[in-house]
């Protein structure tokens, strides 16, 4: 919590509490021991204070103890922790067992208000603050990991497919889109998202060039020229032989035709190359929103995603499209993952991922050669594949 945002009384109380600890220490034990104890306390609290003040993706990770302390302090601000509260209303954050309280990290009220995912919840000051910190830390992480040109973001309590549905629903509500031009990928989740948003899927053809399956840009351009109130859903990460959609070229076409573009970047944060391609797309054309999975990119339990945009108004409209309040669990899990990783460790994991993919390609290539097959020549930054010519894939398993 920034000191500048506090009332005068709260500032004095904050400072008095800080000084009170030091005074009690020096009253009870020798000054040199008190000083040593205060140094230890400060070492524990300093990273927590820094996150609350700056709300940035830390260079170095916090410890589990520090993250748990932060969550305990914040969740203690919610009204269900008030020992004097009667707690007889319909929304009092009651749980049948302390286990459930622990499973939610104490944020039993959830997040948001009816009709707005990021609106502060009057009975949940701590959860509201936790959510704002999470959104800022996640946005800073996405910026530092490659998308410096996005301006706003939220962590949604939805997996990637449902987050795409939420984004498309927002575009339908604000821009009146009726169709989604979708370069074909044989994956059910995005197609279900289009249907769930009440929109018509218009498949865009793909073409086979060598081993690679790529979007037919000529077909996309032809469909965009019809101007039927459409949006485009592009994909950066999928399995070979499918290659990433050329999001820069698509963004240019969308800018020329005034068509919204949503990018499904489910796995993409772990690839510097993919993040660079999205950054270039934002600079070169129109990109309305980019969604990335929290579990695939930041090793959280399944259930959350990070949505970012170069336009703050779009993020606001997405938040306003969500129905009702939401569970805080995926939000607090994403914040914990970001704080327990830190930028330096994530950069190390990224480099390790690149090395591992290179190693996997080499080993898979050796296996392919040994049985008269070959590695597919496909530009894919998250996976690789080999031929199975003359073999029964079902028998192989």
- Positions marked active-site: 91, 113-114, 121, 187, 266, 296, 325
Question: What separation in angstroms does the CA of 373 have from each of 169, 213, 220, 365, 387?
Answer: 45, 19, 34, 8, 6
Cα distance between residue 100 and residue 207, in whole Å: 51
Q: Is 320 exposed, middle or buried (0-12, 13-18, 19+ CB in 10 A)?
A: middle
Question: What separation in angstroms does the CA of 262 have from each of 111, 126, 287, 380?
Answer: 25, 32, 6, 20
In the chain, alpha helices (H): 8-28, 31-54, 64-75, 98-103, 125-144, 160-175, 188-196, 217-224, 247-257, 272-284, 294-298, 312-321, 329-370, 393-396
Q: Is 356 exposed, middle or buried (0-12, 13-18, 19+ CB in 10 A)?
A: exposed
Q: Is 199 exposed, middle or buried (0-12, 13-18, 19+ CB in 10 A)?
A: buried
Whether 152 and 307 have beta carbons less than 8 Å apart is answered as: no
Cα distance between residue 394 and residue 337, in whole Å: 38
Question: What separation in angstroms does the CA of 118 have from each of 6, 98, 161, 321?
Answer: 21, 27, 20, 11
Whether 123 and 328 have beta carbons less than 8 Å apart is answered as: no
228 three-class SS: coil
Phi, psi angles (nearest 5°) of residue 375 = -75, 140
Nearest to 233 by CA among 207, 260, 253: 260
For residue 124, is the peptide bond before it cis, meaning its omega torsion is within 30 degrees of 0?
no
Chain position carrying tokens 């109380």:
13
> Beta strands 305-309 and 152-156: pairing type?
antiparallel
Cα distance between residue 203 and residue 223, in whole Å: 10
């Amino acid at each position: 919590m920034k000191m500048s945002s506090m009332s005068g009384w709260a500032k004095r109380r904050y400072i008095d509490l800080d000084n009170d600890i030091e005074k009690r220490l020096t009253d009870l034990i020798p000054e040199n021991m008190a000083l040593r104890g205060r140094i230890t306390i400060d070492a524990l609290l300093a990273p927590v204070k820094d996150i609350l003040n700056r709300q940035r993706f830390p260079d170095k990770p916090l410890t589990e103890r520090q993250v748990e302390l932060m969550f305990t302090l914040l969740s203690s601000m919610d009204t269900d922790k008030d020992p004097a509260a009667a707690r007889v209303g319909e929304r009092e954050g009651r749980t049948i067992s302390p286990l459930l309280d622990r499973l939610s990290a104490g944020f039993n009220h959830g997040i948001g208000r009816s009709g707005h995912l990021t609106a502060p919840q009057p009975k949940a000051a701590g959860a509201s603050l936790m959510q704002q910190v999470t959104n800022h830390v996640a946005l800073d992480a996405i910026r530092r990991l490659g998308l410096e040109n996005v301006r706003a973001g939220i962590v949604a309590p939805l997996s990637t497919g449902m987050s795409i549905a939420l984004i498309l629903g927002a575009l339908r509500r604000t821009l009146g889109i009726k169709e989604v031009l979708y370069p074909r990928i044989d994956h059910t989740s995005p197609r279900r998202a289009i249907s769930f948003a009440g929109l018509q899927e218009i498949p865009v053809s793909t073409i086979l060039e060598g081993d690679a399956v790529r979007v037919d840009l000529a077909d996309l351009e032809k469909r965009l020229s019809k101007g039927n109130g459409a949006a485009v859903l592009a994909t950066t990460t999928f399995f070979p032989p499918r290659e990433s959609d050329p999001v820069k070229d698509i963004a240019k076409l969308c800018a020329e035709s005034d068509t919204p573009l949503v990018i499904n970047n489910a796995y993409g944060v772990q690839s510097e190359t993919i993040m660079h391609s999205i950054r270039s797309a934002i600079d070169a054309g129109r990109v309305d929103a980019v969604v990335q999975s929290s579990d695939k990119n930041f090793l959280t339990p399944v259930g959350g995603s990070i949505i970012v945009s170069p336009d703050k108004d779009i993020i606001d409209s997405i938040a306003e499209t969500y129905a009702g309040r939401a569970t805080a669990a995926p939000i607090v899990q994403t914040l914990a993952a970001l704080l327990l990783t830190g930028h330096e460790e994530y950069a190390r994991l990224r480099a390790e991922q690149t090395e591992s993919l290179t190693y996997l390609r080499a080993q898979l290539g050796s296996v392919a050669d040994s049985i008269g097959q070959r590695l597919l020549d496909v530009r894919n930054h998250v996976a690789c594949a080999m031929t199975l010519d003359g073999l029964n894939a079902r028998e192989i398993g």
